[in-house]
């Protein structure tokens, strides 16, 4: 059974969903940004202690929603604009031993000033014991196709990056954004330096191996890519919203659409999800 509560975190209005067994998730109305997922007594997302909580800057860590643009691949601000807008809590509902929060945002004069298209998006944050699912739904209420890219920019907490590994991308097409080279994914990815790569998403799940315990990571087929990112020591030290050792405690593994935009016909919906499950 799920309990819903409202609280303020760092000055931001938030909604928390808590399960009987103790699992919980905290979501800010600012950006519908997931700030925390705790399960089995541990925080499973990384939230930077250097985040600037001024209501304007993007929150560093957790799960920001990148829409309608991935990174700087277009004319919009980095990763689009919805992560910096106020969303509303639409509804919440129980699902057996779990529950879901649904957040909503629709186009208005402020978004039209940045991007001329009409849209209505919702974000479901679904919690079950040992499992977290985030689902983005994009509705096109306009008269023409809606084109977008984006990601569920998930910062996973790791206890010891040098001893962590990501498995499941062997043989997949790989673009290394640091070196601007193309290749194929290794069987076991490890992280001793800055890492920024985009992969063609395989059918199966990925597996994060970390001393704190393994995590299975999966995504809907509607996302074409996985993005794997860690800033490494040198870049981390230049980023004002990261503390010096941030890179050692996080790994971004993101269901994404990077190279080719998704097209949503008039009146239609597109939906894409990412799921994290604690392995036994």
Question: What's the CATH number where 27 sits?
Answer: 2.70.98.10
- Provide mean pLDDT across the span 180-184: 98
Confidence of residue 177 (pLDDT cuts 50, 70, 90): very high
Given 33, 174, 249, 254, the catalytic residue:
254
Tell me the average pLDDT of the chain.
Answer: 96
- What SS3 state is found at 191? coil
Given 139, 153, 174, 249, the catalytic residue:
153
* Position 97 pLDDT exceeds 90: no
Predicted confidence at residue 96, as pLDDT, reads 82
Residue 160: domain span: 2-278
Q: Which two tokens stand for residue 238?
A: 């230049």
Percent of the chain scoring above 70 in pLDDT = 100
Confidence of residue 56 (pLDDT cuts 50, 70, 90): confident
Domain total for the chain? 1
Predicted confidence at residue 1, as pLDDT, reads 79
User: Over the stretch 243-272, which tens digit does the pLDDT of each residue have?
Assistant: 989 999 999 999 999 999 999 999 999 999
- 266 CB contacts (<8 Å, ≥6 apart)? 140, 141, 142, 143, 144, 145
Please provide the distance, in angstroms rounded to a whole number, between the alpha carbons at the two ends of the chain. Answer: 22
Confidence of residue 57 (pLDDT cuts 50, 70, 90): confident
Active site residue 254: yes
CA 155/CA 142 separation, integer angstroms: 33
Q: Which two tokens stand for residue 172?
A: 């997949």
Q: Tell how far CA 31 is from the center of its chain.
A: 12
Confidence of residue 95 (pLDDT cuts 50, 70, 90): confident
What are the CA-CA distances from residue 6 to residues 123, 131, 252 (Å)?
18, 22, 28
């Amino acid at each position: 059974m799920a309990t819903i509560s409202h609280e303020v975190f760092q000055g931001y209005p938030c909604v928390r969903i808590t399960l009987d067994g103790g699992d919980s998730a905290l979501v800010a109305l600012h950006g519908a940004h997931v700030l925390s997922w705790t399960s089995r007594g541990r925080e499973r997302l990384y939230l930077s202690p250097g985040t600037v909580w001024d209501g304007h800057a993007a929150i560093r860590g957790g799960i920001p929603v990148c829409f309608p643009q991935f990174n700087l691949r277009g004319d919009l601000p980095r990763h689009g604009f919805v992560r910096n807008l106020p969303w509303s809590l639409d509804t919440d509902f129980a699902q057996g031993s779990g529950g879901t929060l649904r957040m909503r945002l629709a186009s208005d004069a402020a978004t039209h000033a940045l991007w001329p298209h009409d849209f209505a998006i919702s974000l479901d944050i679904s919690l079950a014991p040992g499992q977290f699912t985030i689902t983005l739904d994009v509705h096109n209420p306009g008269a023409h196709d809606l084109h977008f890219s984006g990601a569920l920019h998930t910062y996973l907490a790791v206890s010891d990056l040098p001893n962590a590994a990501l498995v499941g991308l062997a043989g997949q097409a790989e673009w290394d954004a640091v070196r601007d080279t193309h290749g194929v994914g290794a069987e076991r990815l490890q992280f001793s330096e800055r890492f920024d790569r985009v992969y063609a998403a395989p059918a199966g799940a990925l597996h994060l191996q970390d001393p704190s315990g393994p995590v299975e990571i999966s995504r809907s087929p509607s996302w074409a890519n996985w993005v794997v990112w860690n800033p490494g020591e040198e870049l981390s030290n230049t980023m004002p919203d990261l503390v010096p050792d941030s890179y050692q405690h996080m790994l971004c593994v993101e269901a994404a659409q990077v190279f080719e935009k998704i097209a949503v016909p008039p009146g239609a919906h597109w939906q894409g999800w990412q799921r994290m499950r604690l392995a036994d």
